[in-house]
Structure 1
Amino acid sequence: MNQPRPSNQPSSANPAASPQLKHEWAELRTLLLAPEQTQLTELRNRIDHTETDAPSVSKVLAEAITLRGKQDERLTAALTPHVQTALTSSVRRHPHVIAEAIAPIMGPAIRQAIVRTLQGMMQSFNQTIDHSLSPKGLAWRIEAWRTGRPFAEVVLLHTLRFRVEQLFLIHRDTGLLLHHVASDTAIIHDQQLVSGMLTAIQAFVQDTFRTPRGQTLNTLEVGECRVLIEQGAQAVLACVVRGTAPGYLRAQVQQTLESIQLDYADAFAAFDGNPSGFDATHDRLMECVQTQYQTPRTQISPMAWVTVAALVLATAFWGWTSYQDTQRWHQLTQKIRTLPGIVITTLERDGQTVTLEGLRDPLATDPTDLLTEAGIARDHITSHWTPFHSLDSQFAGPRAIALLHPPETATLRYDDGRLTASGTAPELWAIQARQIAPLLPGIREYHDTDLHTVSRADLIAQLNRSDFLFESGSSTLSEEELRKVTPVKSLLEDLRQSALSSSDGTLLVEAIGDADSAGPETMNFLLATARAHAVIVALGGPAAFPPLTFTASVEPASFAGQKRGGTKNHQTAQRRVTLLVTSKNVAGRAGSAP
């Protein structure tokens, strides 16, 4: 069990005594160390918050820099890296500011550097061949004198294919020249200036043309010199080429730059402005310095080449066109000879004139049309054909239809020697068709079981039973009576076909008008006549059914003084028009023409 602590044992402290003691010690420390503590606090604040002294420092900073700079070059050495870093950062962030600043001097400086290089190269090359007395050299000197160009330039134009004159390895971020190589004949000027100008041109082009990031200038051309520029992650390799550079040269420059960046990655990472770490790239860059001259060879005159080429092309064109024309003519003659219904005995071509002779079915295609479609003028075609009937199956059907001339209500169908008639036709035409059809060329069988025949007597009897009723006092057919017109017209068409197939005389269709007893007799006579004319007009008249003749008349018994009257139905039957068909050579009743 826990025993209670005796009250007389010493305690670590009275709970209220420790805070009081601390407070007393704090008051004593304040009384003794207050001034020093205040000074230490102020010093700490000045150390921790140096920006509070910026106004004071700014008052003497300019004078301090001036005085320090007069003592030695240590201030310049200390500030140079920072100025370079600041300039690099400014170029990256605001390239247009640098471009605008150097634009006035960039163009003249570039031109001056290039002109000096070219002049030196021309002078050096001129010295090497100045005393050349070869015939070709003399010819080149004459050309130089005639054109007013330097002799060395003329020689270079005639002999040099291309030459790599200089290569510049440039640090991409700073634009500093890392290494430079040149050919033996190149005139070398300030490499640092050229390197700086190339970097400035890159910045100028990107700022002026607002090219997207990653798209840079890769070629510069000045006269006959071309600068190939390859961009890398750490460096830029510029290759100055005179003449026409082959395609593989750019690939070689690109591979050289890639290998340098790979092998000197540490040197690029530790670059501090000193290019000595890249001196070992000399041999690798010199591999790109190369020259190619044109291989001398005996040349044929360009005019001779042109003449030979023209002759070859002309001969080839003539041969090809002749072959094409021969092929087209052969195909055309084969097509004409295989035309159905055509038997060719003569088919000749003499220049532009074509002669055709042979046998031709009247239903066959005219070969003259095919020749015209092929581009031969019709007046250059002479043809003589002897007509004959071809037994080709494709002509049998059309020839049978043309010879039999079926009525519009009948149809003739031809199928492999079998001629079938269907529809409706006059009896006389059907009889004649049965007699003629089997005798036609190409017709082996004739069938007319589906053909309905109507005799002339039946047609006349049906027409004579036709009548049209009218309302009292009217000469206009009602809707109900108009429906009778179509069947009557069909009978008239059959009668017309029968008349065409017969020579028994012209048929006369007489429309006989009538009227009831209501009204004056004169008015009834005129009304009956008008009703007869109305029926003829409704049927179509003579123009619709030639050679039938139509006439209008009145019922004689109605106007001969007979007593008329009767029941209502009887009077309605009197208001009508009846048809009467007779032959002109048979005595009939006279009537008035419409």
Structure 2
Amino acid sequence: MLESLPQLSHRDAATHAADGDVAVTPAPQARAGHSPGAASSDDAYGALRELLLAPEQRELSDLKQQLSQVRAPVAADAVAEVLPAAVGLANQHSPEMAIALQPLLEGTLTQAVRQRPEVIAEAIFPIMGPAISRAIREALSRMMQQTTYALEHAFSLRSWRWRLEARATGKPFSEVVLLHSLVYRVEQVFLIHPESGLLLQHVHVDQQHATAAESIEQQNASMVSSMLTAIQDFVRDSFRVDSKAALDTVEVGDVTVWIERGPHAVLAGVIRGTAPVSLRAVFREALGLCHRDFLAQLKAFSGDSDELAGLRPYLLRCLQQQQQQEKSSRPITALVIIAMLLLSLLAGLVYIGTQSWQSTQRLRIAAAFLQQQPGIVVLKAQQQRGRFDIEILRDPQAKPVEKLLREAGLVPEQVTLREWPFLALQPELILRRASLALQPPAGVRLSMPSIGVLKLEGQAEEDWIDDARFLAPAIAGVQQTLFDITALPKPPQLYDILMERARALEAIVFHFRAGSIELLPGQDEQQQKAQTEIKEILHMAQQDESLDVTIEVYAHTDTIGDALYNLRLRESRAKQMRVWLSSAGIDMRKLRAVAPLQFEQERAERAASFRVVVTARAVAKKRSR
């Protein structure tokens, strides 16, 4: 049919190529030239082309327009319409979308918590509030359970053994009571689908440990799970409680069912006996592990429990039990332990009593010993808080208290001692007081022939006797003094000896030539004697540091001549004598040249003499011829 169609003209081909974006190549004959009937057939051919190709040309035009829009920026409205559906499809086909979005969601949640924590708190309050309330309720329940059992067994025979165990292990007494008193066994554990009530998994104790009367048959497990779900729904519907509220405990006779709910599974444990509250934590931990490791399988559960067989190890952990570990000889053992405790207590009491009695005896003996000591008066002696409290009066002349305490058998470090001074009138202490005050020499003996009478016997210097007569009556406890003392001859004192030698030196006189400082011949012997006497006097003065000796050299003149001339001559003669004695080895510091005035001269002749000045105890004594 197409072969019989007339050929398109060049104009028609170009026009249709521009409209429909389709290029139609003219036949070779048309390009070579026009046949005479070509013009008449153009209209018919154009109509046929319009009829056959118009739909395809319109579709091509629409596709071109869409392609031009894709190259432009994507509109947000268009993306918003298709994004939720795209994310949902991607999440159903593959978890890659969730993995890709996880960092973004974590960052967004972190920023929200930092910037607007009140929004997060308001969002999680419906979850955290019940969880906190439940934790507080369980803690109070556990505390009441411990308190109840502790009170019940606080005064029993077994409680003493449990107290020893608590002290040895460091556990609270109430916890040890619960450990020995609570006997329970988890017989079965059901894992139930929360929406359908179907049994996901079921574990039970071995048949050798549980009889048919004590446990529920395994073939009835599905029925039990359905009944628990039905009871839950019945309570929620009948009592108009919150849709999120759920049963957590069901009691049937001596069997208790504890229920723990999760988002996609419910764990129910059948317990026989009294279980501790801590068992709920075990159930919750097992339920959490099931959700952690089999979350996808739990969400997609379709009724085939074999797909969840991997949950059984978690449920088997919940099959816990505690048995009473008491032997037939328990009463005897308890009695033996109680008897040992009583004996230990009695021995401790006897030991404490013995120690207290011994301490009291020691204190009594020590107080009596102190009371017998001269100059000691015991005012109080008692024992307080393991220490000895002693209060005494003590004479200053009595023995040291620490020494007396050691002699009495007490340790001074364990004694609280308070001393009050006083003067005792015992003869022994009066004699000590008198010896301290009088300081008697070796030849004097002190005694008390009767009360208040002090007797002094022996020989002493006259000065000491005078002092003793003055001091003795003032001694405390001395009412009368008896002196039977002979005065010793007074030994010559150094001062008197010096004065004797000074008189011999002052008797030596030297004579000068008239009007000269030279000595007359024939006085060598006197010079030698004067040097010897001066050296001896100075040497003797060194024996007593309290004595200071100075030798004064006096020079004289006659009355002939002018007074001023004679004064200068006397000064020259005195200085010449001082130089001469210094050259003989005498300390010049101990020599002083003196030129007396005319009216002070003791001699009216041309002579020189000496005067010895002795300073003793800051009192100057001068010996003159």
Same fold per superposition (TM over 0.5): no
- TM normalised by structure 1 equals 0.29
Between Structure 1 and Structure 2, whose CA radius of gyration is higher? 2
